[in-house]
Amino acid sequence: MSEFLERIDVVDIDTLHRDYDVDKVIDYVHEGIEAPTGSYPLDLYRKYEAQRWNISDLSFEEDKKDWTDKMTPLQRDTFLRVATGFHHGERQVAVDIMPLIIAAPKDEHKVYMTSQMEDEARHTIFFDRFYREVVGFEATDLMDTLDQSYQYMTETFIGAFGYLAYISDQLRQRPHDKRLLVSAITNYHMWIEGVLALSVMKITLGFCKRNQILPGFHKGFLATTRDESRHVVFGMHLLQELLADDPSLKTAVYDTVVTMLIMGSTYTQPVDYTPLGVERDSVRDILITNLRKKLGMVGLPIPPELERMMQGVQPENAAGG
């Protein structure tokens, strides 16, 4: 990894916002993966300590002006259709991660995952502030903001995120079931965070950087992207570890990816990405590339049938968490 990318580890979020763009942070996610060592959960926990940031440090004053003065109604609508999947996604993962922590095999895994839970809660607050202070929602509480932003969601969101809600329910009841744990990590860390989320980040953050607008959103969401990179690295390492201990669990990864692809092969309302300067097919390419890289990270080949299914994934399913 280049020195420039390595510095992402240590820069504050003002420097991250000023000197880096989303493509660099995504490269950092993929190039930062190394063979897991026994200390990776605590190494990542220490990174969390160094990289943690506060929502209260962000200002959305400029964003509020940009939202009304520099963005067209079409751009605002598309931006919300893309970003809202992340707003709801963050809430879902913040709520559903607890059973995964209980089911994680070692205390080191559990300790790291508490930092991930705090990240997800903080990201939920980040979006809550954005919708209130920039988009202009008048909300009584977190759920009220979510209820108001729901109008921008694609209904097929219940696929990947419903699966997370239901598998975390099962994992809560059977925390020693390794197949359930592998499936939950594949759904959460590989698909939601490693495939869907990175796509939303690329679309929205790329738009902000190219047009030099929404600085508060760019700063907070790029910092979110760096947080997510720790999550993805942890998830892929834990999967590698679990599959090495019991290779028969590989089928749980494939089964889950197939389920995600079947659910992700349709949508209820189309999204026109062009107001944000992105072509629909390029979003699909991003999703496919992200999945290919994640499967590669855990050392799983892509059989022809899976390859065929990957080509059918629909961009509207991009969301985050």
Of 41 and 315, which CB lies nearer to another protein in the complex structure?
A: 315
Does 281 bind another protein (CB under 8 A)? Our answer is no
Number of residues that bind another protein (CB under 8 A): 32
Q: How far is the CB of 166 from another protein (least distance, A)?
A: 5
HSE toward the beta carbon, residue 39, CA cutoff 13 A: 3
Contact set for another protein, span 6-45 (CB under 8 A): none
Does 262 bind another protein (CB under 8 A)? Our answer is yes
* SS (HEC) of 67-116: HHHCCCHHHHHHHHHHHHHHHHHHHHHHHHCHHHHHHCCCHHHHHHHHHH
Whether residue 319 contacts residue 197, with contact meaning beta carbons closer than 8 Å, is answered with yes
Task: Retrieve residue 184's tokens.
Answer: 């939950």
How many C-beta atoms lie closer than 10 Å to residue 216's C-beta?
Answer: 22
Does 165 bind another protein (CB under 8 A)? Our answer is yes
Instruction: Return the residue of 2, 251, 269, 274 that touches another protein, per CB under 8 A.
Output: 269
Whether residue 276 contacts residue 74, with contact meaning beta carbons closer than 8 Å, is answered with no
The binding track of 140-159 with respect to another protein, each residue x by CB under 8 A or -, is -------x--x--x-xxxxx
Does 53 bind another protein (CB under 8 A)? Our answer is no
Does 88 bind another protein (CB under 8 A)? Our answer is yes
Does 272 bind another protein (CB under 8 A)? Our answer is no
Which string of b and e fits 131-143 if b means at least 16 CB within 10 Å? bbbbbebeeeeee
Contact set for another protein, span 238-257 (CB under 8 A): 255-256
Q: How far is the CB of 243 from another protein (least distance, A)?
A: 19
Q: How far is the CB of 270 from another protein (least distance, A)?
A: 6
